[in-house]
């Protein structure tokens, strides 16, 4: 395979003396972190450009190495409150961002502590002891479970900065303050915030640890999902096995091979690949035959037979034979490493949508702080409701989620590009992906693109006085070093010992050179330029759909060759799928009109233009492009390069020329045309998911903040919503991992609308959803007096003549069947006698069931009115009689 891909070095020296480094950044959580890191790098005049990616936790910095060192760059990042480390050159497998802050164990420790605090707050009698236990549990969870929040916000505070973590820290500390007030100032009695009832008051006493537990769980799940998304991206380099079997000594099969890291194997060394093993490096087979599964590079689930002389690629899997391979490229320059570098490059550029998101979220955290302060003051000063003031201000801090906005585009891009590269489609940058999502026309080159890279000479007609061999001999001499399918066909048909001098390629026309003292041209045969006998042959070849090439010696045509270029097997299906997607197709070719239109008919391609030289190709492309919303050009040759560069998206066939590869936005590694519709499908799916994510993040924050400020969101609900919102963005992006599981032909474009309307829908969706769930939650929320649990009943207390208190309550305390509860200060020796009378009616004896020491229960049917309960019992061996009454409405 020919490649013009950049080298795999992570620090590359560019022609203008600038160097590019890749830094791993630790400590970024949201888009405002990204912006701070970005600014800390941009601040130095020696930095030409910096791109920071939240999803991969990387920064790509281009700088003047004579003016600033990488260490100084890392220090600049550290000064902003984050840590940076340069990734080693040639680092083949970038480490995945995992759960570095240990959110998993933090969540696991936080939950039992938080639930104990909740149980105590809900069930234990209000006392100073229970108040203090809840407070201490809250502090423990705040420190153990919420340490990363604290650490990051303290670190930023020192640099007078705020981020997402500042919001969480402030919110949870305020919640903790509620517990502290209860324990320290109120002797364990519960604060009734917002007049929301006894149950909610008990709940809010323990909300701080619960919020931390919820948030830690959210972060733990998010970290896992992000690691999964990163794996999708880095699946390429992970293909390389950790060791290679280096063959030492000359006798093969003597078992004398040594396991070494593939990175240490030099060019020219021989490695052995056993059945079922993954081939570690690129090279040429010198011994053995085997079917190699190349699907990991091409997405095509067909094994390819390889034997001596054929080239194998690192990362593909050996079938049942044993292969000895002579290494042709070191690990860092292998196809795999180059492809990975392309993918990494794509990640280093921000798609336009993300740039908008970053700008929005840069001002986001300060705005939320202001909204929270205003909410507090508004409820306190204007509405004189301190309880709601505290709860709503906390809810505002906790519900805002800039994370979702920061992750919206990069995670989707990461998964989308990862899927594409797994199918052998390399998308060079986010811009190209966005443009690709919008195309409605695809133009193909013919030779080498729609037709196979391999052509054959089908017939030769020499002019009178010349022999077939002589014609082929001069043609092969000129074509010997040319990479064009026609050139390869001529050289394969005839071996010559001659070599032409001064060979020049005429793109889209042919080749010229000098053989001995003769000037030779092997060129496209123009109609009407040939002598009659050759013209007749040419016409016949053309009618068979073959490409006709004229061999001209000293300006005199000496023969014509018919080159048959078979169509790629999958061409027809690929075109069919494009049409299914509603995309128009065209051929732009240098070959004759006749050959081109015959192929267009065969493949039912909409528009056919033949006989084009590179400039004409370009202008034909521009004409087509003016009538379309976005256009892809697919090509392989040198003559396609200008068109590839001019199209909205240039797509090069992997087996094509270097010029084509280096001017294109997309490379089809496996030269599989099915990858063209697949790439469009993946791009539109990725773009649709990005829009959804972005819209969700916007809509979520737009709707959640006002609701929280209005006092309609409980802080606990706010914390759950915030955790869910960034999770949703990551989970939504992970849907893309399913694209094209069964090869490129299985990619379906999403049935989703695009453009502004889609964005509007995406924003509106969470707004509606959120409003609906808030209304729903309000109806059942325990915090709003609409208890999920039965409301705690009114307790009637009576002071006994023997000292101590008896308590009685009716559960539920409304008309209908009720439990009558009687609680005595100590257990009597006999069950108490209880009679109940209604509005002065005759007393009725109740049967008592003991449910605990001194605790008795009976069932009574209560009707509205005043009920009097007379109790006779013994306490400390004295008989005591007392009455209690309850009025039921
Ligand atoms: P396409 O645009 O269909 O890919 P090319 O532009 O590569 O085709 O070639 C256009 C025409 O130019 C071919 O049909 C052939 O006649 C001629 N041609 C191009 N390259 C060569 C070559 N190396 N030897 C002979 N003829 C060539
Ligand atoms: Mg071509």
Q: What is the pLDDT of residues 186-215, one digit of tens each?
A: 777 777 665 455 666 777 778 889 888 888
> Quick check: helix, strand or coil at residue 219?
helix
What is the distance between the terminal CA atoms of the chain, rounded to a whole angstrom? Answer: 88
Q: Which backbone phi and psi does 806 adopt, to 5 degrees? A: -105, 145
Question: What is the DSSP-derived secondary structure letter of residue 183?
Answer: I
Ligand closest to the CA atom of residue 589: 1
Give residue 750's pLDDT. Answer: 65
Name the residue with the closest Cα to ligand 1, atom 6: 508
CB 299 within 8 A of CB 743: yes
Of 463, 619, 479, the C-alpha closest to 529 is 463
Give the nearest ligand 1 atom to 588 CA.
Answer: 2
DSSP letters spanning 433-445: HHHHTT--EEEE-
Percent of the chain with pLDDT over 90: 15
Helix (H, G, I), strand (E, B) or coil at 67: coil
518-550 per-residue burial string, b: 16 or more CB within 10 A, e: under 16:
ebbbbbbbeeeebeeebbebbeebbeebbbbbb
**Residue of higher predicted confidence among 602 and 792:** 602
Whether residue 7 has pLDDT greater than 50: no
The average pLDDT across 63-81 equals 87
Q: What's the number of CA atoms in the CB half-sphere (13 Å) around residue 826? A: 12
Separation of CA 605 and ligand 2 centre (Å): 17
pLDDT of residue 808: 87
- Ligand 1 mean position, distance from CA 86 (Å): 47
Predicted local distance difference test score (pLDDT) of residue 799? 86
Please determine, for residue 784, whether its predicted confidence score (pLDDT) is greater than 60: no
Query: What is the Cα gyration radius of the chain?
Result: 38
Contact 613, 508 (CB under 8 A): yes
Ligand 1 nearest-atom number relative to CA 479: 23
| Residue 679 pLDDT level (bands cut at 50, 70, 90) | very high
Residue nearest to atom 25 of ligand 1 (CA): 510
Distance CA 384, CA 721 (A): 28
The string of DSSP codes covering 143-170 is: HHTSHHHHHHHHHHHHTT---HHHHHHH
Mark 13-30 as b/e (b = at least 16 C-beta within 10 Å): eeeeebbbbbbbbebbbb
* Residue range 50-62, pLDDT digits in tens: 878 777 788 888 8
The Cα angle at residue 573 between residues 570 and 578, in degrees rounded to 5: 120
Residue from 460, 538, 549 whose mutation best tests the ligand 1 pocket (most atoms within 8 A of CB): 549
Could you tell me if 858 and 847 are in contact, meaning their C-beta atoms sit under 8 angstroms apart?
A: yes
Question: Which of 357, 356, 397 lies closest to 374 in space, CA to CA?
Answer: 397
Strands 878-888 and 844-846, sheet pairing: unpaired
pLDDT at position 39: 86
Q: How far apart are CA 143 and CA 392, in angstroms?
A: 24
Omega within 30 of 0 (cis) for the link into 102: no
Side-chain half-sphere CA neighbours of 90 within 13 A: 8
Instruction: Please state, in angstroms and as integers, the Cα–Cα distance from residue 344 to each residue in 58, 134, 406, 418, 739, following that order.
Output: 10, 49, 19, 10, 20
Q: Starting from the CA of residue 660, give the closest ligand.
A: 2
Ligand 1 geometric centre to CA of 523 (Å): 7
The protein residue with its alpha carbon nearest to ligand 1, atom 22, reads 510
At residue 554, what are phi and psi to the nearest 5 degrees?
Answer: 45, 50
The predicted pLDDT at position 195 comes to: 46
Q: Whose CA is nearest to atom 21 of ligand 1?
A: 510
Residue nearest to atom 16 of ligand 1 (CA): 524
Distance from the alpha carbon of residue 446 to the mean position of ligand 1, in angstroms: 9
Q: Please report which confidence band the pLDDT of residue 569 belongs to, taking 50, 70 and 90 as the band edges.
A: confident
Q: Best of 547, 591, 595, 603 to mutate for ligand 1, by most ligand atoms within 8 A of CB?
A: 591
Whether the predicted pLDDT of 293 surpasses 90: no
Query: In whole numbers, what is the pLDDT of the chain averaged over residues?
Result: 81
Q: Which of 331-340, 423-432, 590-599, 744-753 has the highest mean pLDDT?
A: 590-599
Distance 570 CA to ligand 2 centre (A): 17
DSSP secondary structure letters along 280-333? -S-EEEEE--EEEE-HHHH----EEEE-TT-EE-TT-EE-SS-EEEEE-S-GGG
Query: Could you tell me which residues come within 8 angstroms of residue 842 by beta carbon, excluding any fewer than 6 positions away?
Result: none
**Residue to mutate (ligand 1; options 444, 446, 447; most atoms within 8 A of CB):** 447
- How much is the pLDDT for 606? 92
Hey, whose CA ends up nearest to atom 27 of ligand 1? 510
The rounded distance, in Å, linking the Cα atoms of 292 and 449 is 24
**Ligand 1 pocket: which residues have CB below 6 Å?**
445-448, 479, 482, 484, 486-487, 508-511, 522-524, 547, 549, 589-591, 637, 639
CB burial of residue 306 (10 Å; 0-12, 13-18, 19+)? buried
- Give the whole-angstrom CA distance, residue 760 versus residue 237: 39
Q: Yes or no: say if 21 and 47 are a contact pair by the CB < 8 Å rule.
A: no
CA of 592 to the centre of ligand 2 (A): 13
Ligand 1 atom index nearest CA of 446: 3
Please spell the DSSP secondary structure of 487-530, one letter per residue: HHHHHHH---S---EEEEEETTTEEEEEETTEEEEEEE--TTSS
DSSP 808: E
| Separation of CA 447 and ligand 2 centre (Å) | 4
From CA 806, how far away is CA 826, in angstroms rounded?
9
Ligand 2 centroid from CA 7, angstroms: 26
- Sequence length of the chain is 889
User: Residue 12: pLDDT above 70?
Assistant: no
Residue nearest ligand 1's atom 13 by CA: 591
Strands (E), 742-826: 795-799, 805-811, 816-823
Say yes or no to pLDDT of 15 above 80: no
The model's pLDDT over 740-766, given as tens digits with 9 standing for 90+, comes to 887 788 887 666 555 677 778 778 887
- What is the per-residue pLDDT across 222-269, written as a single tens digit (0 to 9) for each? 777 777 766 666 556 666 787 888 887 655 445 567 888 888 888 888
Among 63, 79, 78, 69, CA closest to 24: 78
Q: Which ligand is nearest to the CA of 483?
A: 1
Tokens 């799928």 map to which residue?
A: 577
Q: 464-488 as b/e, with b when 16 or more CB fall inside 10 Å?
A: eebeeeebbbbbbbbbbebbbbbbb
Pull the structure tokens for residue 586: 């065209």
Residue 839 catalytic?
no
Q: How far apart are CA 703 and CA 309, in angstroms?
A: 65
Say yes or no to pLDDT of 97 above 60. no
Q: Which residues are bridge partners to 866 per DSSP?
A: 887
- The upper half-sphere exposure of residue 496, i.e. CA atoms within 13 Å in the direction of its Cβ, equals 22
| Of 477, 507, 523, 530, best ligand 1 pocket probe by most atoms within 8 Å of the beta carbon | 523
Q: What is the pLDDT of residue 521?
A: 93
When pLDDT is cut at 50, 70 and 90, the band that residue 5 belongs to is very low
- Residues 130, 187: Cα–Cα separation, whole Å: 9
Q: Which residue in the list 344, 445, 591, 636 is annotated as catalytic?
A: 445
Q: Whose CA is nearest to atom 12 of ligand 1?
A: 509
Contact by Cβ (8 Å): 439, 649: yes
- For 458-490, the pLDDT digits (tens) are 999 998 888 999 999 999 999 988 878 898 889
């Amino acid at each position: 395979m020919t490649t013009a891909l950049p080298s795999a070095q992570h620090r590359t020296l560019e022609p203008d003396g600038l160097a590019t480094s890749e830094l791993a950044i630790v400590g970024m959580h949201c888009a405002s972190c990204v912006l701070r890191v970005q600014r800390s790098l941009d601040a130095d005049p020696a930095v030409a450009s910096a791109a920071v990616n939240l999803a991969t936790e990387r920064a790509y910095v281009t700088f003047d190495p004579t003016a600033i060192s990488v260490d100084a760059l890392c220090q600049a990042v550290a000064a902003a409150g984050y840590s940076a480390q340069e990734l080693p050159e040639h680092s083949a497998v970038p480490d995945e961002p995992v759960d570095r802050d240990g959110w998993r164990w933090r969540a696991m420790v936080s939950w039992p502590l938080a639930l104990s605090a909740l149980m105590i707050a809900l069930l234990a009698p209000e006392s100073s002891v229970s108040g203090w236990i809840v407070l201490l549990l809250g502090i423990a969870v705040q420190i153990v479970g919420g340490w990363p929040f604290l650490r990051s916000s303290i670190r930023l505070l020192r640099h007078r900065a705020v981020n997402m973590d500042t919001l969480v820290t402030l919110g949870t500390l305020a919640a903790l303050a509620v517990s502290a007030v209860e324990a320290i100032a109120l002797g364990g009695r519960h604060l009734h915030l917002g007049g929301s009832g006894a149950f909610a008051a008990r709940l809010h006493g323990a909300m701080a640890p619960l919020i931390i537990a919820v948030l830690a769980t959210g972060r733990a799940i998010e970290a896992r999902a992000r690691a999964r998304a990163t794996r999708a991206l880095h699946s390429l380099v992970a293909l390389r096995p950790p060791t290679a079997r280096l063959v030492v000594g000359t006798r093969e099969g003597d078992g004398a091979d040594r396991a070494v890291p593939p990175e240490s194997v030099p060019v020219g060394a021989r490695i052995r690949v056993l059945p079922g093993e993954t081939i570690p490096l690129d090279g040429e087979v010198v011994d053995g035959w085997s079917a190699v599964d190349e699907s990991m590079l091409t997405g095509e689930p067909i094994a390819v037979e390889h034997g001596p002389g054929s080239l194998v690629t690192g990362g593909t899997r050996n079938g049942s034979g044993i292969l000895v391979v002579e290494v042709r490229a070191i690990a860092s320059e292998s196809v795999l490493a180059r492809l990975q570098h392309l993918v990494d490059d794509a990640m280093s550029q921000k798609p336009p949508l993300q740039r908008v998101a970053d700008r929005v979220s840069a001002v986001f955290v300060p705005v939320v702080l202001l909204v929270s302060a205003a909410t507090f003051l508004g409820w306190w000063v204007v509405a004189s409701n301190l309880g709601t003031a505290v709860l709503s201000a906390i809810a505002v801090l906790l519900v805002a989620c800039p994370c979702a906005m920061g992750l919206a585009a990069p995670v989707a891009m990461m998964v989308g590009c990862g899927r594409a590269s797994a199918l052998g489609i390399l998308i060079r940058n986010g811009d190209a992906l966005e443009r690709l999502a919008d195309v409605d026309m695809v133009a193909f080159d013919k030779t080498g693109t729609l037709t196979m890279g391999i052509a054959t000479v089908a017939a030769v007609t020499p002019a009178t006085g010349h022999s077939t061999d002589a014609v082929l001999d001069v043609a092969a001499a000129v074509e010997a070093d040319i990479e064009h399918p026609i050139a390869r066909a001529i050289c394969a048909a005839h071996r010559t010992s001659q070599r032409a001098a001064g060979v020049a390629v005429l793109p889209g026309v042919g080749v010229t050179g000098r053989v001995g003292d003769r000037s030779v041209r092997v060129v496209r045969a123009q109609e009407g330029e040939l002598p009659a006998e050759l013209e007749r042959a040419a016409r016949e070849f053309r009618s068979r759909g073959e490409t006709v090439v004229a061999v001209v010696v000293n300006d005199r045509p000496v023969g014509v060759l018919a080159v048959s270029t078979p169509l790629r097997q999958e061409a027809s299906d690929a075109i069919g799928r494009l049409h299914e997607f509603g995309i128009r197709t065209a051929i732009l070719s240098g070959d004759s009109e006749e050959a081109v239109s015959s192929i267009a008919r065969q493949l039912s391609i909409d528009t056919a233009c033949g006989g084009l030289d590179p400039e004409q190709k370009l202008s034909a492309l521009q004409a087509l492009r003016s009538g379309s919303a976005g256009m892809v050009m697919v090509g392989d040759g040198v003559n396609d390069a200008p068109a590839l560069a001019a199209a909205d998206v240039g797509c090069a066939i992997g087996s094509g020329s270097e010029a084509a590869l280096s001017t294109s936005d997309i490379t089809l590694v496996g030269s599989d045309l099915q990858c063209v519709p697949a790439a469009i499908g993946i791009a539109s799916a990725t773009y649709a998911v990005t829009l959804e994510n972005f819209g969700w993040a916007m809509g979520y924050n737009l709707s959640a903040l006002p609701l929280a400020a209005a006092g309609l969101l409980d802080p606990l609900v706010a914390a759950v919503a915030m955790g869910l919102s960034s999770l949703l963005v990551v989970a939504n992006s992970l849907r893309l991992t399913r694209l094209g599981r069964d090869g490129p032909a299985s990619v379906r474009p999403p049935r989703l609308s695009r453009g502004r309307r889609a964005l509007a829908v995406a924003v509106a969706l969470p707004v509606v959803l959120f409003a609906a769930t808030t209304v729903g939650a309000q109806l059942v929320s325990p915090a709003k007096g609409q208890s999920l649990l039965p409301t705690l009943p009114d307790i009637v207390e009576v002071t006994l003549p023997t000292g101590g208190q008896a308590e009685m309550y009716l559960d539920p305390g409304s008309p209908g069947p009720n439990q009558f509860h009687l609680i005595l200060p100590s257990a009597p020796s006999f069950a108490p006698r209880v009679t109940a009378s209604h509005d002065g009616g005759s007393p009725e004896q109740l049967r008592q069931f003991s449910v605990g020491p001194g605790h008795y229960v009976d069932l009574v049917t209560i009707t509205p009115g005043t009920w009097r309960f007379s109790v006779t019992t013994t306490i400390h061996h004295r008989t005591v009689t007392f009455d209690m009454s309850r009025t039921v409405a």
